[in-house]
Chain A
Amino acid sequence: MSQEEEKAKLFVSRLLSNPTLLTLNPLQKEDQIMSFMDLNADQLKPTLTSNAFFLGKSWFEIHKLLIKTLRILIDESLFPGIQRQLYEKIDFRFISILRQQNWPQEKIKEEVLNLIKKIVSSSDGRKDFSGSYNAISRQIVDKYVNSIFTNHTYIHFELTKVQRLKMSKEEVKDMINTSLLLRPSIYVFSSNMNKDSSSGIITQTFAEKVEETLIKEIPALPEKLVKSAVRINLSFEDHKYLQATSRLTSIINSMARSFKADMKIDRGASSPEKSWFSIARKNYKYFGWDIKMLDELYRFSAENNW
């Protein structure tokens, strides 16, 4: 490691060790530090370009080196976390139900891991993967699916009667968690994806292209699962026949993206998840969510004070 790389590592490590970032996931930490460097560039530039640090380097080069170092350090904690999620938290036996034939789980896990590595190699993919990572590591899917299967109302009907998933509750959780991991694959197959920059919604044509490529790249993944994962990025407003798992995963992913474990709930404020669902109900058209699902999830969060 060169002297400059060591200096960069020391600098980034100091930023990462800030206590305010303690409860964030690795990708959220990365996002915070990148924003910090952008917002404070005017103050950082004179010192970092001085003799004591990176003499002779332009701010552009220094910034690039710091971002590269940041990614290396983040990946060191991110990949073990992803592996843990894949190998310990998700059971891929549900794939056999979807394919109607047995597939070796290890092979599927390996292929999904490779795909995730590709996803997080792009800046947009990294940013987007944060929600999936949070949702699985905080077991957000588990508690809502439990409530869905206890209440047997709209979402349960959509999953079991409309989408006709012949799966147990645990298998549905695994399918949604896998969809969450695969969802940002749209960033792998195209840099120009016709994505609405504000709502994150993609077009159906683009979604179909991604599905096609994904099925070719990872033949172990059943078509139903691939569609469920990729179409999370479609708007329910425009596609009324969107699978229930896609609609549900889209909502959970967005909520998990804004999840903050250390959030202090002030007296007089609603709980974080109840607040999120309540706001989402007002923005459902904009983000292309299923309002009936939001209503039901809002009710669960309010009843359980989540």
Chain B
Amino acid sequence: MRTFIRQLRPALVALAVFTVLLGVVYPMLTTLIGQVAFGDKADGSLVRRDGQVVGSELIGQSFTSPQYFHSRPSAAGTGYDGAASSGSNLGPLSPDFLAAVDERVAEYRAVNGLSDDVLVPVDAVTASSSGLDPHISVANARLQAARVARVRGLEVDVVLALVGEHTDGRTFGLLGEPGVNVLMLNLALDDLSAAG
């Protein structure tokens, strides 16, 4: 026990030294580097329209109006709550989960005017891990394109071309999976409609 007590002083001092180094100097130095070298990214890749912050390129948003592409279901707060990231964490056989999927399949078909034999892309009816997934699959976007084009009075091809432009590919063509950035796509659609 005396051995242990003798070690308490260096223990406390070591913790103090490391707290200054690792808890103050290190994060502050990193923040400095980040703010100087990657300012916008370090601040959250914010997207502005007419000078107003409308979101982040990396964080998904809820869309329900027919003229927009719709994001995936979200379990973050009431949906895409940036201050409460979360998955549903429901088990694969959870009755709540399976009921929600059935409901989402029916709604997805109704909203997009799809017949009952069209299979629904899995990302369109499942909640993401963060609840803030900025992407939907290309398959999901293509099934929504006709509806968006119709409501906006655009050619489907024009909308599909925009989908292509806002598809983030794999890094180096290898890492990760491609996805359509819903917020950036919808902003581009608004720009197009405003210009037209």
Asked whether A and B interact, the reply is: no
The chain A residues found within 8 Å of chain B, CB to CB, are: none
